[in-house]
Structure 1
Protein backbone atom coordinates (compact mmCIF):
# COMPACT_ATOMS: atom_id res chain seq x y z
CA UNK A 1 0.00 0.00 0.00
CA UNK A 2 1.54 3.37 -0.98
CA UNK A 3 2.49 5.89 1.66
CA UNK A 4 2.82 9.65 1.66
CA UNK A 5 2.44 12.89 3.59
CA UNK A 6 -0.67 15.09 3.71
CA UNK A 7 0.41 18.51 2.43
CA UNK A 8 -3.01 20.19 2.21
CA UNK A 9 -6.50 19.75 3.66
CA UNK A 10 -9.37 21.60 2.03
CA UNK A 11 -13.15 21.08 1.85
CA UNK A 12 -13.04 17.48 3.04
CA UNK A 13 -10.22 16.46 0.71
CA UNK A 14 -6.67 15.56 1.70
CA UNK A 15 -3.85 16.06 -0.77
CA UNK A 16 -1.20 13.40 -0.21
CA UNK A 17 2.34 13.75 -1.56
CA UNK A 18 3.68 10.31 -2.40
CA UNK A 19 6.05 8.71 -4.91
CA UNK A 20 3.38 8.98 -7.61
CA UNK A 21 2.94 12.72 -7.05
CA UNK A 22 0.03 14.45 -5.31
CA UNK A 23 -3.10 12.33 -4.85
CA UNK A 24 -6.46 13.78 -3.84
CA UNK A 25 -7.95 11.60 -1.11
CA UNK A 26 -10.87 11.36 1.26
CA UNK A 27 -10.73 9.93 4.76
CA UNK A 28 -12.35 6.57 5.39
CA UNK A 29 -15.50 6.54 7.50
CA UNK A 30 -13.67 4.54 10.17
CA UNK A 31 -11.68 7.67 11.02
CA UNK A 32 -14.83 9.55 11.96
CA UNK A 33 -16.06 6.57 13.97
CA UNK A 34 -12.77 6.39 15.88
CA UNK A 35 -12.55 10.19 16.17
CA UNK A 36 -9.33 10.33 14.19
CA UNK A 37 -9.02 13.40 11.98
CA UNK A 38 -6.20 13.33 9.43
CA UNK A 39 -4.04 16.44 9.67
CA UNK A 40 -1.66 18.23 7.36
CA UNK A 41 1.77 16.80 8.15
CA UNK A 42 0.45 13.29 8.82
CA UNK A 43 2.27 10.31 7.35
CA UNK A 44 -0.43 8.08 5.88
CA UNK A 45 -1.14 4.95 3.87
CA UNK A 46 -3.62 5.33 1.03
CA UNK A 47 -5.34 3.57 -1.85
CA UNK A 48 -5.96 5.29 -5.17
CA UNK A 49 -6.99 4.21 -8.65
CA UNK A 50 -6.13 7.62 -10.04
CA UNK A 51 -4.82 11.00 -8.84
CA UNK A 52 -8.25 12.35 -7.89
CA UNK A 53 -9.95 9.31 -6.36
CA UNK A 54 -7.99 8.08 -3.35
CA UNK A 55 -8.77 7.05 0.20
CA UNK A 56 -6.60 7.42 3.30
CA UNK A 57 -6.47 4.00 4.93
CA UNK A 58 -4.17 4.62 7.91
CA UNK A 59 -2.71 7.57 9.80
CA UNK A 60 0.74 6.78 11.19
CA UNK A 61 1.69 7.62 14.77
CA UNK A 62 2.35 11.32 15.27
CA UNK A 63 5.27 12.80 17.17
CA UNK A 64 3.19 15.89 17.97
CA UNK A 65 0.11 17.78 16.87
CA UNK A 66 -1.34 21.26 17.22
CA UNK A 67 -5.02 22.17 17.46
CA UNK A 68 -4.74 25.74 16.19
CA UNK A 69 -3.40 25.55 13.56
CA UNK A 70 -4.39 21.89 12.89
CA UNK A 71 -1.09 20.31 11.86
CA UNK A 72 0.99 17.28 12.89
CA UNK A 73 4.64 16.21 13.03
CA UNK A 74 6.01 19.73 13.25
CA UNK A 75 9.78 20.08 13.71
CA UNK A 76 9.81 23.76 14.56
CA UNK A 77 7.56 26.80 14.86
CA UNK A 78 8.61 30.07 13.26
CA UNK A 79 6.88 32.62 15.47
CA UNK A 80 6.39 35.64 13.24
CA UNK A 81 5.90 38.94 15.05
CA UNK A 82 5.98 42.39 13.52
CA UNK A 83 8.01 45.30 14.81
CA UNK A 84 5.06 47.62 14.04
CA UNK A 85 1.56 47.35 12.53
CA UNK A 86 0.68 45.58 14.79
CA UNK A 87 3.20 46.68 17.42
CA UNK A 88 5.58 44.09 18.85
CA UNK A 89 4.06 42.45 21.93
CA UNK A 90 6.22 40.49 24.39
CA UNK A 91 3.07 39.28 26.19
CA UNK A 92 1.66 37.71 23.04
CA UNK A 93 5.07 36.31 22.06
CA UNK A 94 5.48 34.68 25.47
CA UNK A 95 1.99 33.19 25.15
CA UNK A 96 2.95 31.60 21.82
CA UNK A 97 6.28 30.43 23.22
CA UNK A 98 4.60 28.70 26.18
CA UNK A 99 2.25 26.74 23.92
CA UNK A 100 5.04 25.77 21.52
CA UNK A 101 7.31 24.69 24.39
CA UNK A 102 4.46 22.67 25.93
CA UNK A 103 4.07 20.77 22.64
CA UNK A 104 7.81 20.04 22.53
CA UNK A 105 8.28 21.98 19.30
CA UNK A 106 11.42 24.01 18.76
CA UNK A 107 10.58 27.72 18.42
CA UNK A 108 12.38 30.32 16.33
CA UNK A 109 11.43 33.99 16.71
CA UNK A 110 11.25 36.07 13.52
CA UNK A 111 10.48 39.77 13.92
CA UNK A 112 9.32 41.29 10.63
CA UNK A 113 8.71 44.80 9.26
CA UNK A 114 11.92 46.18 10.79
CA UNK A 115 12.12 48.50 7.77
CA UNK A 116 9.07 50.37 9.10
CA UNK A 117 10.66 51.43 12.37
CA UNK A 118 11.01 55.21 12.39
CA UNK A 119 12.97 55.60 15.60
CA UNK A 120 15.55 52.90 14.96
CA UNK A 121 15.64 49.37 16.32
CA UNK A 122 17.37 49.98 19.66
CA UNK A 123 14.45 48.82 21.84
CA UNK A 124 13.77 45.91 19.52
CA UNK A 125 17.44 44.88 19.66
CA UNK A 126 17.17 44.81 23.46
CA UNK A 127 14.14 42.53 23.28
CA UNK A 128 16.00 40.32 20.79
CA UNK A 129 18.96 40.13 23.17
CA UNK A 130 16.66 39.21 26.08
CA UNK A 131 15.14 36.31 24.16
CA UNK A 132 18.51 35.13 22.91
CA UNK A 133 19.73 35.13 26.51
CA UNK A 134 16.67 33.01 27.37
CA UNK A 135 17.87 30.43 24.85
CA UNK A 136 15.90 31.34 21.73
CA UNK A 137 17.07 32.01 18.19
CA UNK A 138 15.89 35.44 17.01
CA UNK A 139 15.97 36.81 13.45
CA UNK A 140 15.13 40.40 12.51
CA UNK A 141 13.71 40.51 9.00
CA UNK A 142 11.93 42.52 6.34
CA UNK A 143 9.91 41.15 3.44
CA UNK A 144 10.41 44.46 1.62
CA UNK A 145 14.19 44.86 1.91
CA UNK A 146 14.80 41.07 2.26
CA UNK A 147 16.87 41.73 5.37
CA UNK A 148 17.33 38.58 7.46
CA UNK A 149 16.04 36.11 4.86
CA UNK A 150 19.48 34.59 4.28
CA UNK A 151 19.65 33.91 8.02
CA UNK A 152 16.26 32.18 7.93
CA UNK A 153 16.85 29.77 5.01
CA UNK A 154 19.21 27.35 6.85
CA UNK A 155 16.67 26.81 9.62
CA UNK A 156 14.05 25.63 7.11
CA UNK A 157 16.03 22.95 5.28
CA UNK A 158 14.96 19.36 5.96
CA UNK A 159 12.24 20.32 8.44
CA UNK A 160 8.49 20.80 8.67
CA UNK A 161 8.06 24.33 9.98
CA UNK A 162 4.87 26.10 10.93
CA UNK A 163 4.66 29.87 10.50
CA UNK A 164 2.46 31.10 13.32
CA UNK A 165 1.59 34.47 14.75
CA UNK A 166 -0.99 37.17 15.11
CA UNK A 167 -2.97 38.20 12.03
CA UNK A 168 -1.36 40.96 10.00
CA UNK A 169 2.25 40.41 11.11
CA UNK A 170 3.36 39.45 7.61
CA UNK A 171 3.50 35.64 7.57
CA UNK A 172 2.28 35.38 3.98
CA UNK A 173 4.46 38.31 2.89
CA UNK A 174 7.47 36.55 4.40
CA UNK A 175 6.65 33.35 2.53
CA UNK A 176 6.24 35.32 -0.69
CA UNK A 177 9.69 36.82 -0.12
CA UNK A 178 11.18 33.37 0.51
CA UNK A 179 9.50 31.95 -2.60
CA UNK A 180 8.19 34.77 -4.86
CA UNK A 181 6.32 32.54 -7.31
CA UNK A 182 3.84 31.61 -4.55
CA UNK A 183 2.02 34.94 -4.83
CA UNK A 184 0.13 34.25 -1.60
CA UNK A 185 -2.67 36.67 -0.85
CA UNK A 186 -1.73 39.32 1.70
CA UNK A 187 -3.68 42.06 3.41
CA UNK A 188 -2.86 45.03 5.56
CA UNK A 189 -3.99 46.05 9.01
CA UNK A 190 -7.62 46.91 9.68
CA UNK A 191 -7.24 50.28 11.40
CA UNK A 192 -10.80 50.03 12.70
CA UNK A 193 -10.06 46.74 14.47
CA UNK A 194 -6.39 47.41 15.16
CA UNK A 195 -5.35 43.97 13.95
CA UNK A 196 -4.69 42.11 10.75
CA UNK A 197 -7.30 40.69 8.43
CA UNK A 198 -7.12 36.93 7.96
CA UNK A 199 -5.78 36.07 4.51
CA UNK A 200 -4.92 32.38 4.95
CA UNK A 201 -8.00 30.14 5.08
CA UNK A 202 -6.50 26.65 5.26
CA UNK A 203 -3.30 24.87 6.23
CA UNK A 204 -0.96 23.86 3.43
CA UNK A 205 2.66 22.70 3.37
CA UNK A 206 4.75 24.71 0.91
CA UNK A 207 8.19 23.67 -0.29
CA UNK A 208 10.94 26.16 0.49
CA UNK A 209 14.49 25.56 -0.73
CA UNK A 210 15.62 22.02 -1.47
CA UNK A 211 14.00 20.11 1.37
CA UNK A 212 12.06 22.45 3.63
CA UNK A 213 8.28 22.31 4.08
CA UNK A 214 6.58 25.34 5.60
CA UNK A 215 2.96 25.67 6.69
CA UNK A 216 1.31 29.02 6.18
CA UNK A 217 -1.50 28.93 8.70
CA UNK A 218 -4.58 31.04 9.48
CA UNK A 219 -3.65 33.82 11.85
CA UNK A 220 -5.22 34.01 15.29
CA UNK A 221 -5.04 36.54 18.08
CA UNK A 222 -6.03 34.55 21.19
CA UNK A 223 -4.55 31.40 22.67
CA UNK A 224 -5.71 29.65 25.81
CA UNK A 225 -3.81 27.37 28.17
CA UNK A 226 -6.40 24.61 28.18
CA UNK A 227 -4.02 21.72 28.89
CA UNK A 228 -1.19 23.21 30.96
CA UNK A 229 -1.17 22.65 34.72
CA UNK A 230 0.32 25.20 37.16
CA UNK A 231 3.31 22.99 37.96
CA UNK A 232 4.07 22.58 34.22
CA UNK A 233 4.27 26.27 33.34
CA UNK A 234 7.77 26.52 34.82
CA UNK A 235 9.07 24.16 32.10
CA UNK A 236 7.66 26.38 29.34
CA UNK A 237 9.98 29.25 30.33
CA UNK A 238 13.51 27.89 29.72
CA UNK A 239 15.20 30.80 31.50
CA UNK A 240 12.99 30.35 34.55
CA UNK A 241 13.29 26.56 34.52
CA UNK A 242 17.08 26.69 34.53
CA UNK A 243 17.28 28.98 37.55
CA UNK A 244 14.42 27.20 39.37
CA UNK A 245 16.76 24.31 40.10
CA UNK A 246 18.32 26.56 42.74
CA UNK A 247 15.01 27.22 44.52
CA UNK A 248 14.89 25.90 48.07
CA UNK A 249 11.58 24.12 47.69
CA UNK A 250 10.81 21.52 45.04
CA UNK A 251 7.71 22.47 43.09
CA UNK A 252 8.27 26.16 43.79
CA UNK A 253 5.86 28.27 41.71
CA UNK A 254 8.03 31.40 42.13
CA UNK A 255 5.30 33.66 43.48
CA UNK A 256 5.08 33.64 47.28
CA UNK A 257 7.54 30.91 48.29
CA UNK A 258 10.56 31.92 50.41
CA UNK A 259 14.14 31.62 49.14
CA UNK A 260 13.02 31.48 45.52
CA UNK A 261 15.98 31.67 43.12
CA UNK A 262 13.76 32.89 40.29
CA UNK A 263 12.51 35.94 42.20
CA UNK A 264 16.10 36.68 43.22
CA UNK A 265 17.21 36.46 39.58
CA UNK A 266 14.49 38.90 38.53
CA UNK A 267 15.58 41.37 41.22
CA UNK A 268 19.20 41.00 40.08
CA UNK A 269 18.31 41.55 36.42
CA UNK A 270 19.10 37.98 35.34
CA UNK A 271 15.54 37.45 34.10
CA UNK A 272 13.68 40.35 32.42
CA UNK A 273 10.94 41.62 34.69
CA UNK A 274 8.37 41.55 31.87
CA UNK A 275 9.01 37.83 31.30
CA UNK A 276 8.44 37.16 34.99
CA UNK A 277 5.26 39.27 35.00
CA UNK A 278 3.94 37.28 32.03
CA UNK A 279 4.77 34.06 33.87
CA UNK A 280 2.75 35.21 36.90
CA UNK A 281 -0.16 36.36 34.71
CA UNK A 282 -0.24 33.02 32.88
CA UNK A 283 -0.01 31.11 36.15
CA UNK A 284 -2.99 32.99 37.55
CA UNK A 285 -4.91 32.41 34.32
CA UNK A 286 -4.27 28.67 34.61
CA UNK A 287 -5.30 28.63 38.27
CA UNK A 288 -8.51 30.49 37.43
CA UNK A 289 -9.39 28.12 34.62
CA UNK A 290 -12.58 26.18 35.09
CA UNK A 291 -11.86 22.53 35.93
CA UNK A 292 -12.30 19.99 33.15
CA UNK A 293 -14.66 17.06 33.73
Structure 2
Protein backbone atom coordinates (compact mmCIF):
# COMPACT_ATOMS: atom_id res chain seq x y z
CA UNK A 1 0.00 0.00 0.00
CA UNK A 2 1.63 3.21 -1.15
CA UNK A 3 -0.03 6.02 0.79
CA UNK A 4 0.13 9.35 -1.02
CA UNK A 5 -1.54 12.75 -1.06
CA UNK A 6 -1.86 15.92 -3.10
CA UNK A 7 -2.58 17.91 0.07
CA UNK A 8 0.29 18.84 2.37
CA UNK A 9 2.65 17.06 2.40
CA UNK A 10 2.34 16.58 -1.35
CA UNK A 11 3.73 13.29 -2.66
CA UNK A 12 6.23 13.31 -5.51
CA UNK A 13 5.05 10.78 -8.14
CA UNK A 14 8.66 9.63 -8.48
CA UNK A 15 8.50 8.28 -4.92
CA UNK A 16 5.41 6.23 -5.79
CA UNK A 17 7.06 4.96 -8.96
CA UNK A 18 10.28 3.95 -7.22
CA UNK A 19 8.37 2.15 -4.48
CA UNK A 20 6.18 0.34 -7.00
CA UNK A 21 9.25 -0.69 -9.04
CA UNK A 22 10.91 -2.19 -5.95
CA UNK A 23 7.66 -3.99 -5.09
CA UNK A 24 7.50 -5.42 -8.62
CA UNK A 25 10.98 -6.90 -8.19
CA UNK A 26 9.65 -8.93 -5.28
CA UNK A 27 6.33 -9.82 -6.94
CA UNK A 28 4.38 -7.69 -4.48
CA UNK A 29 1.14 -6.14 -5.64
CA UNK A 30 0.80 -2.38 -5.28
CA UNK A 31 -2.28 -0.40 -4.32
CA UNK A 32 -2.08 3.40 -4.43
CA UNK A 33 -4.06 4.97 -1.57
CA UNK A 34 -4.65 8.71 -1.92
CA UNK A 35 -5.33 10.10 1.55
CA UNK A 36 -6.71 13.50 2.60
CA UNK A 37 -9.22 13.57 -0.25
CA UNK A 38 -11.37 15.82 1.93
CA UNK A 39 -8.68 18.49 1.43
CA UNK A 40 -7.62 17.65 -2.13
CA UNK A 41 -9.27 15.08 -4.39
CA UNK A 42 -5.87 14.20 -5.92
CA UNK A 43 -7.33 14.01 -9.42
CA UNK A 44 -3.86 14.18 -10.99
CA UNK A 45 -2.41 11.23 -9.10
CA UNK A 46 -5.66 9.31 -9.39
CA UNK A 47 -5.67 9.54 -13.19
CA UNK A 48 -1.96 8.69 -13.49
CA UNK A 49 -2.11 5.49 -11.47
CA UNK A 50 -5.49 4.29 -12.66
CA UNK A 51 -4.22 4.68 -16.24
CA UNK A 52 -1.02 2.82 -15.29
CA UNK A 53 -3.09 -0.15 -14.13
CA UNK A 54 -2.69 0.15 -10.36
CA UNK A 55 -5.68 -0.30 -8.06
CA UNK A 56 -6.15 3.27 -6.81
CA UNK A 57 -8.48 4.45 -4.08
CA UNK A 58 -9.17 7.87 -2.59
CA UNK A 59 -9.70 7.97 1.17
CA UNK A 60 -9.95 10.42 4.03
CA UNK A 61 -8.79 9.30 7.45
CA UNK A 62 -10.52 12.42 8.78
CA UNK A 63 -14.02 11.82 7.36
CA UNK A 64 -13.92 8.07 6.69
CA UNK A 65 -14.51 8.53 2.97
CA UNK A 66 -13.24 5.61 0.89
CA UNK A 67 -12.38 3.34 3.82
CA UNK A 68 -15.07 0.80 2.88
CA UNK A 69 -13.53 0.63 -0.59
CA UNK A 70 -10.09 0.11 0.94
CA UNK A 71 -11.03 -2.71 3.32
CA UNK A 72 -11.57 -5.43 0.66
CA UNK A 73 -8.15 -4.61 -0.78
CA UNK A 74 -6.41 -5.45 2.51
CA UNK A 75 -8.71 -7.99 4.19
CA UNK A 76 -7.19 -11.46 4.49
CA UNK A 77 -3.79 -10.17 3.37
CA UNK A 78 -0.51 -8.98 4.81
CA UNK A 79 0.06 -5.41 3.65
CA UNK A 80 2.73 -2.80 4.28
CA UNK A 81 1.71 0.84 4.61
CA UNK A 82 4.49 3.00 3.22
CA UNK A 83 4.87 6.56 1.99
CA UNK A 84 6.35 9.94 2.77
CA UNK A 85 6.22 11.41 6.27
CA UNK A 86 2.96 13.04 7.28
CA UNK A 87 0.87 11.52 4.53
CA UNK A 88 -1.39 9.80 7.06
CA UNK A 89 -0.42 6.13 7.31
CA UNK A 90 -1.08 5.93 11.05
CA UNK A 91 -4.19 8.09 10.69
CA UNK A 92 -5.65 5.59 8.22
CA UNK A 93 -4.93 2.75 10.64
CA UNK A 94 -6.67 4.68 13.42
CA UNK A 95 -9.66 5.29 11.14
CA UNK A 96 -9.84 1.60 10.20
CA UNK A 97 -9.60 0.52 13.84
CA UNK A 98 -9.89 3.34 16.43
CA UNK A 99 -8.78 0.97 19.21
CA UNK A 100 -5.17 1.41 18.08
CA UNK A 101 -4.98 5.07 19.12
CA UNK A 102 -1.72 5.58 17.25
CA UNK A 103 0.10 8.88 17.62
CA UNK A 104 -0.15 11.10 14.56
CA UNK A 105 2.01 14.07 13.68
CA UNK A 106 1.51 17.63 12.55
CA UNK A 107 2.49 19.01 9.16
CA UNK A 108 5.17 21.68 8.95
CA UNK A 109 3.65 24.53 6.94
CA UNK A 110 7.11 26.00 6.30
CA UNK A 111 8.66 22.78 5.00
CA UNK A 112 5.52 21.27 3.49
CA UNK A 113 6.23 17.87 4.99
CA UNK A 114 5.31 15.81 8.01
CA UNK A 115 7.20 15.08 11.17
CA UNK A 116 8.01 11.44 11.96
CA UNK A 117 5.69 9.86 14.54
CA UNK A 118 6.09 6.17 13.64
CA UNK A 119 9.62 5.33 14.80
CA UNK A 120 9.71 1.61 14.08
CA UNK A 121 8.05 -1.08 11.98
CA UNK A 122 5.04 -2.62 13.71
CA UNK A 123 2.48 -5.27 12.72
CA UNK A 124 -1.21 -4.60 13.41
CA UNK A 125 -4.12 -7.04 13.25
CA UNK A 126 -7.25 -5.23 12.08
CA UNK A 127 -10.82 -6.19 12.90
CA UNK A 128 -11.58 -6.45 9.15
CA UNK A 129 -9.21 -9.43 8.92
CA UNK A 130 -6.20 -7.56 7.56
CA UNK A 131 -2.64 -7.63 8.83
CA UNK A 132 -0.88 -4.32 8.26
CA UNK A 133 2.75 -3.39 8.75
CA UNK A 134 3.05 0.30 9.59
CA UNK A 135 6.45 1.72 8.68
CA UNK A 136 8.16 5.04 9.44
CA UNK A 137 7.67 7.74 6.84
CA UNK A 138 10.51 9.21 4.86
CA UNK A 139 11.42 12.17 2.68
CA UNK A 140 13.55 10.10 0.27
CA UNK A 141 13.96 6.42 -0.47
CA UNK A 142 17.23 4.47 -0.64
CA UNK A 143 17.24 0.92 -2.04
CA UNK A 144 20.96 0.29 -2.48
CA UNK A 145 20.75 -3.48 -1.92
CA UNK A 146 18.16 -3.88 -4.68
CA UNK A 147 19.45 -1.35 -7.18
CA UNK A 148 21.59 -3.75 -9.24
CA UNK A 149 18.61 -6.03 -9.74
CA UNK A 150 16.42 -3.02 -10.49
CA UNK A 151 18.89 -1.87 -13.15
CA UNK A 152 18.76 -5.26 -14.89
CA UNK A 153 14.98 -5.52 -14.78
CA UNK A 154 13.83 -1.91 -14.89
CA UNK A 155 11.43 -2.22 -17.88
CA UNK A 156 9.72 -5.18 -16.19
CA UNK A 157 8.93 -3.10 -13.12
CA UNK A 158 6.74 -0.65 -15.05
CA UNK A 159 3.61 -2.66 -15.95
CA UNK A 160 2.29 0.13 -18.18
CA UNK A 161 5.49 -0.08 -20.28
CA UNK A 162 5.22 -3.86 -20.72
CA UNK A 163 2.51 -3.93 -23.44
CA UNK A 164 4.72 -1.92 -25.81
CA UNK A 165 8.17 -3.44 -25.24
CA UNK A 166 7.77 -6.23 -27.78
CA UNK A 167 7.03 -3.69 -30.51
CA UNK A 168 10.44 -2.01 -30.29
CA UNK A 169 12.60 -2.25 -33.42
CA UNK A 170 15.82 -3.16 -31.58
CA UNK A 171 16.51 -5.93 -29.08
CA UNK A 172 17.72 -4.43 -25.81
CA UNK A 173 15.96 -1.11 -26.41
CA UNK A 174 16.32 1.09 -23.33
CA UNK A 175 13.06 2.96 -24.09
CA UNK A 176 14.82 6.27 -23.54
CA UNK A 177 15.73 7.73 -26.97
CA UNK A 178 16.00 4.99 -29.62
CA UNK A 179 14.38 5.31 -33.03
CA UNK A 180 11.69 2.72 -33.53
CA UNK A 181 10.97 2.47 -29.80
CA UNK A 182 7.34 1.43 -29.36
CA UNK A 183 7.33 2.75 -25.79
CA UNK A 184 8.27 6.26 -26.95
CA UNK A 185 5.64 6.03 -29.69
CA UNK A 186 3.03 5.11 -27.06
CA UNK A 187 4.17 8.10 -25.01
CA UNK A 188 3.79 10.48 -27.96
CA UNK A 189 0.34 9.05 -28.70
CA UNK A 190 -0.79 9.64 -25.12
CA UNK A 191 -1.11 5.93 -24.32
CA UNK A 192 1.56 6.17 -21.61
CA UNK A 193 1.51 8.76 -18.82
CA UNK A 194 4.33 11.31 -19.16
CA UNK A 195 5.05 11.40 -15.43
CA UNK A 196 5.48 7.63 -15.42
CA UNK A 197 7.98 7.75 -18.27
CA UNK A 198 9.75 10.68 -16.59
CA UNK A 199 10.22 8.48 -13.52
CA UNK A 200 11.45 5.64 -15.72
CA UNK A 201 14.05 7.97 -17.29
CA UNK A 202 15.13 9.27 -13.89
CA UNK A 203 15.59 5.76 -12.54
CA UNK A 204 17.42 4.71 -15.70
CA UNK A 205 19.90 7.59 -15.37
CA UNK A 206 20.40 7.02 -11.64
CA UNK A 207 21.03 3.31 -12.09
CA UNK A 208 23.15 3.50 -15.27
CA UNK A 209 26.57 3.93 -13.55
CA UNK A 210 25.74 1.50 -10.74
CA UNK A 211 27.58 -1.57 -12.06
CA UNK A 212 30.95 0.15 -12.12
CA UNK A 213 30.39 1.59 -8.64
CA UNK A 214 29.30 -1.77 -7.22
CA UNK A 215 32.32 -3.57 -8.66
CA UNK A 216 34.68 -0.98 -7.18
CA UNK A 217 33.04 -1.45 -3.79
CA UNK A 218 33.79 -5.21 -3.71
Contact 2:11 2:84 in 1 (8 A): no
Counterpart position of 1:98:
21
Deviation at 1:275, TM superposition (A): 1.1
Deviation at 1:228, TM superposition (A): 3.2
Deviation at 1:209, TM superposition (A): 2.6
Aligned residue among 185, 194, 204 for 1:264: 185
Aligned residue among 69, 75, 87 for 1:169: 87
TM-score normalised by length of structure 1: 0.68
- What do residues 125-182 of structure 1 show as CA deviations (whole Å, max 9, x unaligned)? 2431331221100000101110100001111111111000001000000100000111
Counterpart position of 1:87:
10
Matched residues in 2 for 1:171 and 1:202: separation? 13
- What do residues 36-77 of structure 1 show as CA deviations (whole Å, max 9, x unaligned)? xxxxxxxxxxxxxxxxxxxxxxxxxxxxxxxxxxxxxxxxxx
Aligned residue among 107, 111, 115 for 2:38: 115
Matched residues in 1 for 2:166 and 2:204: separation? 19
Question: Gapped runs of 5+ residues in structure 1?
Answer: 1-77
Counterpart position of 1:136:
54
Deviation at 1:208, TM superposition (A): 1.2
Deviation at 1:231, TM superposition (A): 3.5
Deviation at 1:257, TM superposition (A): 2.1
User: Aligned with 1:214: secondary structure?
Assistant: strand
TM-score normalised by length of structure 2: 0.91
Deviation at 1:194, TM superposition (A): 3.1
Counterpart position of 1:214:
132
Counterpart position of 1:179:
97
Q: More helix per residue: 1 or 2?
A: 2
Matched, 1:291 2:209: no
Deviation at 1:92, TM superposition (A): 1.7
Aligned residue among 234, 239, 246 for 2:160: 239
Deviation at 1:222, TM superposition (A): 1.5
Matched residues in 2 for 1:188 and 1:210: separation? 28
Contact 2:33 2:57 in 1 (8 A): yes
1:56-95 aligned at under 5 Å gives the runs 78-95=1-18
Contact 2:10 2:113 in 1 (8 A): no
User: Aligned with 1:101: secondary structure?
Assistant: helix
Matched, 1:228 2:147: yes
User: Aligned with 1:130: secondary structure?
Assistant: helix
What RMSD over aligned residues (CA atoms) do the two structures have, in Å?
1.6
Q: More strand per residue: 1 or 2?
A: 1
- What do residues 224-247 of structure 1 show as CA deviations (whole Å, max 9, x unaligned)? 342234341101110112211211
